[in-house]
Structure 1
Amino acid sequence: MATLLKTSTEIQKGKNKKSAKDNAIAGPSETSTYKPRKDKTLMLCSRGVTQRMRHLMRDLEVLLPHTKKDSKLDTKSSLHLINELADLHSCSNTLYFEARRHEDLYLWISRSPNGPSIKTHVQNIHTMDELKMTGNCLRGSRGIVTFDGNWEKDESTKLMKEIFTHTFSVPKTSRRLKPFVDHILLFSLLDNKIWFRNYQIIEKDPLTPTGPPVPSLVEIGPRFVLTPIKIFEGSFGGPTLYSNSEFISPSSTRASLKKEQGDKYRIRKQTQDQREQRQKRTRDDLPEDQLARKKVFA
């Protein structure tokens, strides 16, 4: 019996050596060549941000545990300095919130340091504190980044989808990550705008906790709308790959509204001057009254 066991053990060892030799000849396996993604996102803003803009940044920081925050950037012209900050923090993605005139917010999404980068205009901002929705998710959990079917129609939208995927998807190697998936980050493309929504995944109906699991979605927040302006080949600059010809800057919109109001005031004053001149001509054309004061008391 001992001889049989010894013979079977030797045969098994020979098979293991043979399989190892075959694997070495064939090359490395797929598991050995797999490299985990180690993307980190740098988040910073410019001077002049308002309270609502800061709350939006705080909500995004809660949703993305792989982000690193930095202090406010003093300059608005030398944006290439952000690539150096991303290099210091070992970040490969950048979210830069640029505030203009304390009311306009622009969001730069860039792959540092070589690009590409997207410049967008942020509108319809609603933070978690404003919405006060019933949904809730674990702090530091991973979110499933999803896109609707309109992102595969154009090359520019495909490029934006790839940048959003690298920036907003949390890698498994994040230190602050909790191994739990309970919410969905949805990016929808409608009317040449990008609509962002955040939903919680509920396994069971709260009204019937003992019933069968019925997955459903409940919106948490925040929510905002991005209008893409330009896509640059480099990071925060370079040749323009895409330009939105339908975009009108908010400063131009306000200038046109002020011009319309000024035109209304100008038309009203011109009408008033014409009325006064017409009344003066009418008084001059009338014959002199015999009962006028200057004749009666002459």
Structure 2
Amino acid sequence: MATILKTQKANALKGKRKVDAMDVDEDADAVETQVKRKKNKQRVLLLSSRGVTHRMRHLMNDLEALLPHVKKDSKLDSKNQLHLLPELADLNNCNNTLYFEARRHEDLYMWATKTPNGPSVKMHVQNIHTMDELKMTGNCLKGSRGLLSFDAAFDETEWGKLTKEIFTHIFGVPVTARKAKPFIDHILTFSILDSKIWFRNFQIVEKDPAVPNGPPQTSLVEIGPRFVLTPIRIFEGAFHGATVYSNPEFISPAAMRSALRRQQGGKYGQRKKAEEETSKRKDLRQMEEDELAVSKVFA
């Protein structure tokens, strides 16, 4: 009987040790899972090419103020050296690039790229209005994190899903950003209308100043900046590679100006042709000189 009791106690101690060991293993797995939890380490390199105007510079300054995880670099000298941008992003420890390319006649193009391997989205920027130009009543804390609001139309097309993913990495401020403030007081909205992406920035107002008492009321007040993006192409790599998507509805500003000049030239040609026809009709209506004319009688 004593032997049986000793055996049961020994088995109970072994079972208790196994349970304790299992608890320790579960706690270790939980700690290891917390340690291996993926952190959002997004950094964006912001730069432009030579030839940008004052409005383009103010737009870049507004974006730098809105995104505390942005690193601003000097201008790129040549527009034909886009292959150097992934190396610049690597040197600045950035895994995203926002590059503004200026062309003639104040045409502005924006590249949104996931470096170093892509993909890249090239867009035409139109209807630029900066914060200083709009003079909106809204205001937000500099360095605060903003919510991203995407239109449901982004999920209806493949290029929309890819663009949404790239914008999420670029405009989504990570919690661990060095200059980020622990506040969320504005919303960055991206809407698709007429095959264009409309960007707006709104402040979240929790209480109406006209009604100081009562339940809190949430409203939105636009801050700025605002601009419109027209997608042109999506490339497989970073600033190069095979074309994944091409917008068939996009007409370049140079082609539009050329068509306008041709139209104006056509109007000039039609006017000169009308003048020639008028002179011909005048010549046909002119009567021949009579025999009793003064010039013949007193010749």
TM-score normalized by the length of structure 1 = 0.89
Cα shift readout 1:122-176 (whole Å, capped 9, x = no counterpart):
1111111111111100001001111121111112111110000000011112111
Whether the aligned pair in 2 keeps the contact of 1:48 and 1:102 (CA below 8 Å) is no
Aligned CA distance change for structure 1 residues 265 and 183 (closer, same or farther; 3 Å)? same
Q: How far off is 1:29 after superposition? A: 4.9
* Partner Cα separation in structure 1 for residue 260 and residue 105 of structure 2: 19
Equivalent residue in structure 2 for 1:290, among 266, 289, 292: 292
Corresponding residue number in structure 1 for 2:234: 231
Q: How far off is 1:279 after superposition? A: 2.0
* Partner Cα separation in structure 2 for residue 260 and residue 290 of structure 1: 52
Aligned length: 284
Gaps of 5+ in 1: 1-12
What amino acid is aligned across from residue 277 of structure 1 in structure 2? K
What amino acid is aligned across from residue 210 of structure 1 in structure 2? N
Aligned CA distance change for structure 1 residues 86 and 16 (closer, same or farther; 3 Å)? same
Cα shift readout 1:41-79 (whole Å, capped 9, x = no counterpart):
011111111111111111111100111111111111221
What amino acid is aligned across from residue 70 of structure 2 in structure 1? T
* Partner Cα separation in structure 2 for residue 251 and residue 80 of structure 1: 25
Corresponding residue number in structure 2 for 1:20: 24
Q: How far off is 1:23 after superposition? A: 3.8
* Partner Cα separation in structure 1 for residue 262 and residue 280 of structure 2: 27
Greater mean deviation of Cα atoms: 196-205 or 274-283: 274-283
Equivalent residue in structure 2 for 1:63, among 61, 66, 79: 66
Aligned CA distance change for structure 1 residues 19 and 230 (closer, same or farther; 3 Å)? same
SS at match of 1:80: helix
SS at match of 1:137: coil
Cα shift readout 1:184-204 (whole Å, capped 9, x = no counterpart):
101111221111110111111
Structure 2 residue 183 is matched with structure 1 residue 176: no
For 1:201-220, what aligned pairs fall within 5 Å after superposition?
Answer: 201-220=204-223
Structure 2 residue 161 is matched with structure 1 residue 150: no
Structure 2 residue 60 is matched with structure 1 residue 52: no
Gaps of 5+ in 2: 1-16
Corresponding residue number in structure 1 for 2:281: 278
* Partner Cα separation in structure 1 for residue 208 and residue 277 of structure 2: 72
Q: How far off is 1:258 after superposition? A: 1.1
For 1:1-298, what aligned pairs fall within 5 Å after superposition?
Answer: 18-24=22-28, 29-283=32-286, 286-288=288-290, 290-292=292-294, 294-298=295-299
Whether the aligned pair in 2 keeps the contact of 1:49 and 1:102 (CA below 8 Å) is no
What amino acid is aligned across from residue 187 of structure 2 in structure 1? I
What amino acid is aligned across from residue 55 of structure 2 in structure 1? R
TM-score normalized by the length of structure 2 = 0.89
Residue identity over aligned pairs, in percent, reads: 59
